[in-house]
Structure 1
Amino acid sequence: MIISGTIKDTFAASRLLSSPALVEPSYARLIFSQISSPNLFIWNTLIKKLVENGMDSMSPPPLLVYKQMLKTSVRPNSHTFMYLIKALQAQLDLYLHEGEAIHSNVVKFGCDSSQFVSSALLGFYVACGFVDRARRVFDKISEPGLVLWTAMMRAYVCANVSEEALRLFGEMRQLGFMPDPVTLATIVSACGQLGNLDTAKVIHGFITKSGVEVDAFVSSGLLGMYGDCGSLEFTYNLFCEMSAKNVVIWNTMIHQCAKNGNMDLAYQLFKMMPDADIVSWNTMIGGLAHAGRCKEALALFNEMELYGVKPNRLTLSITLSACAGLGALDTGTWIHAYIEKNSLNSDGSLDPGLIDMYAKCGSIDKALQVFEKTTRTDLFSWTSIICGLAMHGHAKQAIHYFSQMLEAGVQPDDVTLVGILNACAHSGFLDQGWQYFLSMEKVHSLTPKLEHYGCMVDLLGRMGYLKEAYSLIRGMPMEPNEVIWGTLLSACRVHNNVELGELAAQRLLQLDPTDPYIRVMLSNIYAEASRWDGVMRIRKELKERGLRKEPGCSSIEVNGVVYEFLVGDSLHAQQIEIHSMLDKLEIMLKIGCH
């Protein structure tokens, strides 16, 4: 076409430029340069190509092409602005100012009457976090259609302002608009976000009476709405009433069971499911792990292979977390080998989970090996290794890696600071602990939470500064919980401080009068101080209230099988051999002491 001169024909050039086969931006630009007088269609096609197929070093950005177009006699239309707004949304951090300029041009060239352009502008401002500007765009439209009403409601839902979304839905209904399935799904999300069961019932009643066809997307949204409102009963009843249930609806119901803590019902539904997919398996394994039922989570993971279901990265991430919770090192190591064999960690996204698993399973050296080899030293990887080292009492190494993280320009988050404060607490680094605690607001712009105060109370308590720990608790901007007072009580037990121990125990009993641990700890403090009257009083209270301390539980993995033991447990098939070995170890320890 170039040799024959056909390329100069506007129609022929536009056909070539708009061809789906033309995906190279630089080549599209070359064809465009051969056209002497490009019309609006050709300008729009070039901008569209640059937006959809990306840009290379040889091609100008879409906004620059637009500015070049304005220097000609060609004027933009709604299609031009749709493409430009799409380009802006790809790099929000760079183009907010440009977005405002494009918005001005939309008004200038009379394209603000286009519902689709206005909807795109709404989406742009919401993505930038400016829902108020999005509302101003909406309010300036004389007669917004259903698309714009829905877009604005969706904007409020995305900004977590569900009350405004519901208020806007009421205004829309007063004007006589009937929602479509997309609008219904949006308003159902708003109800779930609000968490008000009465409002959810009203919206559900409206949907039932409206006559609007309820698709699977809206149906799953209704299940999620009731679940988010904390009513698993309504969720399950609605699920049972649904005649047609696809895999999305089944997965939503199982997810809501897991979210609301009913894993038994979740498992029952999972087994009844006609066609479980990878999402179903991940939901079940993740739900069991989150509920502390890590042994069952690992058993279900092993069951996947029998059903021919291949795990994806999310499955492996969840299962690594279950291994960490159970201390199943052999299973975790096997998963690591599986990941390597199938090249499932090319981007390093599973490294934080591997580091966490190895650290919590007692293999900190292996955790360090994974960290040193990782190709992705992001916040999650740094935090995992710092928390792992802290857990193993390697405070100096944890502090070293924390310093390296800051030097690498990675800013810590709340979890990272919990890890470094724990490291200081376990090793008695009082001055450094205070320094890190005070730096949270001054240096890292992080507001200390309960967990951070808990670490500092633990650090002060371990070092014997009980009065300072109590002063810190009294000065907390939030109400101290059981963990805070329990940490102080434990420190009082170690340092035999009866006065503060009684105070901490009193506060704990106000929070949970049925916890036997509190009275047992206070009894031990009295015994250390030879306050036998206090010991007798506590024992009498325990007996009268029928309170018993929960037996401790430990687990060990042998040849890939995890065994759990309770204090006083005599159910294990090899209990005689186990106790015999324990007796031998006790004798050896006594001999070693002498």
Structure 2
Amino acid sequence: MMSSCVSVTTVGVNPTRARTLLEKCTTLSQVRQIHAHIVKTNLVTHALCVAKLIHALSHTIHPYEAVSVFSHVLSSLQDIRGIEFSVPSALRACGRSFAFNEGKQIMGFILKTHLWHDPVVTNSLVRMFLEFGMIHLARSVFDKMPTRDFISWNSLLKGYLRAGEIDMAREVFDDMPQRDVVSCNAMIDGYGKHGMCELAEEVFMTMSVRDVVTWTSMISAFVLNYQPKKGLCLFREMLSLGVKPDAPAIVSVLSAIGDLGFAEEGKWIHTYVFTNRIHHSCSFIGSALINMYAKCGQIENAYHVFRSICRQRNVSDWNSMISGLALHGLGHEAVKVFQDMERAELKPDDITFLGLLSACNHGGLVNEGQFYFETMKVKYMIVPKIQHYGCIVDLLGRTGRLEEALGFIRDMPLEPDVLIWKAILSASMKHNNVGMGHTAALKAIEMAPEDSSCYVLLSNIYAKAGRWDDVSKVRSMMKKRGIRKIPGCSSILVDGKVHDFLVGKAMDVKYNQNVVAKLEEVVCKLKLEGYEPDLNQVFLDIEEDEKESQLTLHSEKMALAFGLCSIPQGVPIHIVKNLRICCDCHTFMQMVSKVYNRRIIVRDQNRFHHFDEGCCSCRNHW
């Protein structure tokens, strides 16, 4: 039965009382009880009462009941005065329940009556067709509407954006007689999601009035389009103007900080979230904090956040923790967290297993990876996606089981994608299998002809084998196709400023001389301790002294030298690199951590390396 505050058992419920009771309903069964009472007391002739009933039904898990009620009421009415109050809710219910034929019948009724001149009704008609995904019909209604308002234009604009029709959305945006904040926010969001960040920024800069959604949409656009620095700067500007960020803004800026890889700003945001109790309004804040700390190299802080939300963890929180451990190569720890998740009786999803398989991959846990791949399929009935297959291929390839990896690919029910062939290509490079690398490279280049890494890996395989003619052929192919190798770049945060170093030179000219001098000092000191540059990591046909010079100027080495000059003893040196760390730099970092007694944390393209006392957390498996 309904609670006493919503009881309809009181004798003499009038239309006003019925509407009040409908507003207080929280379940479908409550709405149905009042519906029965309305029928019994003949309140179906009361337009506002019926409108409230249909409105309540249209928001339930069974919206089609609103359509049925509307149909019944319409067929029984002698006078349609007041029916305009019910029509928008009936159209909403048609859209939510995909009742296309009924929606068309209501449209026919609208066209025959005065309702066609009611913008509230016609706007609802446009939104209904957009719910059906029939943009052409929505546009047809829009073009014929006698009256259009902000809602009309914005509904059509959002419909095009939701359907991915960015050009049509831009046409509507340009044609609007006037734009409000809603129009501009929608366009910023749409541009951002379609990789048109500059256009999003143009709209943002033209706005004289901005709300929190405006700022959040623009920050999100920067983050989605790999411009985390701009996103973070905009967030700071937002705060300086006194605009209080909402939960989505916090999630976006935490993502930006995670992409940058430096935790100082993240810690401040974490304090802000806690102080302003924003975490209570968004279940994704916890996941965002875990992701941020994990991506910034502070897996202990990530785990602290994870433990602190123990009473209200959702699947996303568990996924973030497992993925974070995977990023740090902590395979056994990730398996333990997954087992805790099972004991908590939470059902893992495909993202859970993607993180778990990735953890097994980075940890070299072949048996565990194969076991959980089968567990996903058999126990949880989750159909593996191409990314799950890719994890197993990469896992087998990294451990030298290339033939087994190829057999696994042949048995896949899905066609291998470029990432799978690149995994074979990388494994072939690591284990000096020129033939298999050549085959994998051709497959990868066919699928992604503009991906420079496919060409570079093939060229490097040939270089390691001393096949310089083949190296020249690959480079000629790249030049002919206009493919440029992505240069290695490493970043380090010192005194609140991010300093970038490009392979072969220091990008920050002010520090160039000091960095090179410090680097020469470090190399000399390490050589006294037995360091020998791994010249096999230079894939150029040049003299050995030139190869050594090339190795010395790798971006992560320059960033490290700058860190040794600028960061006090006892404070970890955090470096973020855009590409995979090479074997020579890996050995170099290990020795520096021992000789200089410094803890060094490097995040490369794939994972974290924690160097301490001459050892690395990856145990030379990366």
Fold match by TM threshold 0.5: yes
Name whichever of 472-481 and 322-331 sits farther off.
Answer: 472-481
2:514 corresponds, among 577, 588, 592, to 577
Q: Deviations over 1:98-132 (max 9, x none)?
A: 87787777767766777777767766776564466
Secondary structure in structure 2 of the residue aligned to 1:448: coil
Does the CA-based 8 Å contact 1:165-1:190 persist in structure 2? no
| Aligned counterpart, 1:508 | 444
Q: Could you tell me which amino acid in structure 2 is paired with residue 340 of structure 1?
A: F
The residue correspondences of 1:82-481 to structure 2 (distance < 5 A) are 90-91=26-27, 129-130=61-62, 137=69, 140=72, 142-143=74-75, 145-158=83-96, 161=98, 167=104, 170-173=107-110, 175-176=112-113, 177-178=115-116, 180-190=118-128, 192=130, 198-199=136-137, 201-207=139-145, 210=146, 212=147, 214-346=148-280, 349=283, 350-374=285-309, 376-481=312-417
| Aligned counterpart, 1:8 | none
Does the CA-based 8 Å contact 2:286-2:306 persist in structure 1? yes
- Paired with 2:33 and 2:391, the residues of 1 have a C-alpha distance of 49
Instruction: Confirm or deny that 1:551 pairs with 2:551.
Output: no
Name whichever of 237-246 and 329-338 sits farther off.
Answer: 237-246
The residue correspondences of 1:19-34 to structure 2 (distance < 5 A) are none
Does the CA-based 8 Å contact 1:424-1:433 persist in structure 2? yes
Q: Flag the 1:85–1:309 CA change in 2: closer, same or farther, 3 A.
A: closer
1:240 Cα deviation after fit: 4.1
Q: Flag the 1:576–1:381 CA change in 2: closer, same or farther, 3 A.
A: same
Secondary structure in structure 1 of the residue aligned to 2:116: coil
1:492 Cα deviation after fit: 2.8
- Paired with 2:466 and 2:170, the residues of 1 have a C-alpha distance of 57
- Paired with 1:270 and 1:80, the residues of 2 have a C-alpha distance of 47
| Aligned counterpart, 2:528 | 591
1:443 Cα deviation after fit: 3.0
- Paired with 2:391 and 2:457, the residues of 1 have a C-alpha distance of 20
Does the CA-based 8 Å contact 1:418-1:451 persist in structure 2? yes
TM-score normalised to structure 1 length: 0.76
Secondary structure in structure 2 of the residue aligned to 1:548: coil
Q: Flag the 1:120–1:511 CA change in 2: closer, same or farther, 3 A.
A: farther
- Paired with 1:565 and 1:518, the residues of 2 have a C-alpha distance of 24
1:318 Cα deviation after fit: 1.7
Q: Flag the 1:352–1:231 CA change in 2: closer, same or farther, 3 A.
A: closer
1:592 Cα deviation after fit: 2.9
Q: Deviations over 1:533-582 (max 9, x none)?
A: 64454344234334321223332222222233333455412222223323
Secondary structure in structure 2 of the residue aligned to 1:433: helix
Does the CA-based 8 Å contact 1:327-1:557 persist in structure 2? no
Does the CA-based 8 Å contact 2:185-2:214 persist in structure 1? yes
- Paired with 1:555 and 1:218, the residues of 2 have a C-alpha distance of 48
Secondary structure in structure 2 of the residue aligned to 1:309: coil
Q: Deviations over 1:431-459 (max 9, x none)?
A: 32223222224333433222222222222
- Paired with 1:468 and 1:138, the residues of 2 have a C-alpha distance of 63
Instruction: Confirm or deny that 1:493 pairs with 2:429.
Output: yes
- Paired with 1:83 and 1:468, the residues of 2 have a C-alpha distance of 68
Q: Flag the 1:503–1:118 CA change in 2: closer, same or farther, 3 A.
A: farther
TM-score normalised to structure 2 length: 0.73
Does the CA-based 8 Å contact 1:192-1:224 persist in structure 2? no
- Paired with 1:122 and 1:437, the residues of 2 have a C-alpha distance of 48
- Paired with 1:412 and 1:151, the residues of 2 have a C-alpha distance of 37
1:297 Cα deviation after fit: 0.4
Name whichever of 467-476 and 187-196 sits farther off.
Answer: 187-196
Name whichever of 447-456 and 396-405 sits farther off.
Answer: 447-456
Q: Flag the 1:533–1:249 CA change in 2: closer, same or farther, 3 A.
A: closer
Give unpaired runs (5+ residues) of structure 1: 1-46
Q: Flag the 1:186–1:475 CA change in 2: closer, same or farther, 3 A.
A: farther
Does the CA-based 8 Å contact 1:457-1:488 persist in structure 2? yes
- Paired with 2:383 and 2:57, the residues of 1 have a C-alpha distance of 28
- Paired with 1:475 and 1:183, the residues of 2 have a C-alpha distance of 56
Name the structure, 1 or 2, with higher relative contact order (CA <8 Å, separation 6+): 2
Secondary structure in structure 2 of the residue aligned to 1:330: helix
Does the CA-based 8 Å contact 1:505-1:522 persist in structure 2? yes
Name whichever of 345-354 and 559-568 sits farther off.
Answer: 345-354
Q: Could you tell me which amino acid in structure 2 is paired with residue 155 of structure 1?
A: A
The residue correspondences of 1:9-24 to structure 2 (distance < 5 A) are none
- Paired with 1:366 and 1:440, the residues of 2 have a C-alpha distance of 29
| Aligned counterpart, 1:20 | none
Name whichever of 390-399 and 104-113 sits farther off.
Answer: 104-113
Instruction: Confirm or deny that 1:517 pairs with 2:453.
Output: yes
Q: Could you tell me which amino acid in structure 1 is paired with residue 119 of structure 2?
A: P
Give the RMSD, CA atoms, in angstroms. 3.6
1:394 Cα deviation after fit: 1.1
- Paired with 1:127 and 1:445, the residues of 2 have a C-alpha distance of 32
Q: Could you tell me which amino acid in structure 1 is paired with residue 251 of structure 2?
A: S
Does the CA-based 8 Å contact 2:67-2:94 persist in structure 1? no
1:288 Cα deviation after fit: 0.8
- Paired with 1:587 and 1:372, the residues of 2 have a C-alpha distance of 45
Q: Could you tell me which amino acid in structure 1 is paired with residue 458 of structure 2?
A: L
1:382 Cα deviation after fit: 1.9
1:270 Cα deviation after fit: 1.7
- Paired with 1:112 and 1:258, the residues of 2 have a C-alpha distance of 48
Q: Flag the 1:169–1:259 CA change in 2: closer, same or farther, 3 A.
A: farther
Secondary structure in structure 2 of the residue aligned to 1:551: coil
Does the CA-based 8 Å contact 1:188-1:225 persist in structure 2? no
1:148 Cα deviation after fit: 4.9
- Paired with 1:254 and 1:528, the residues of 2 have a C-alpha distance of 48
Aligned residues between the structures = 521
Does the CA-based 8 Å contact 2:306-2:317 persist in structure 1? yes
Give unpaired runs (5+ residues) of structure 2: 78-82, 532-622
- Paired with 2:53 and 2:436, the residues of 1 have a C-alpha distance of 60
Secondary structure in structure 1 of the residue aligned to 2:491: strand
Secondary structure in structure 1 of the residue aligned to 2:486: coil
Q: Flag the 1:510–1:182 CA change in 2: closer, same or farther, 3 A.
A: farther
Secondary structure in structure 2 of the residue aligned to 1:261: coil
Does the CA-based 8 Å contact 2:94-2:103 persist in structure 1? no
1:190 Cα deviation after fit: 4.8
Does the CA-based 8 Å contact 1:119-1:147 persist in structure 2? yes
Does the CA-based 8 Å contact 2:88-2:124 persist in structure 1? yes
Does the CA-based 8 Å contact 2:63-2:96 persist in structure 1? no
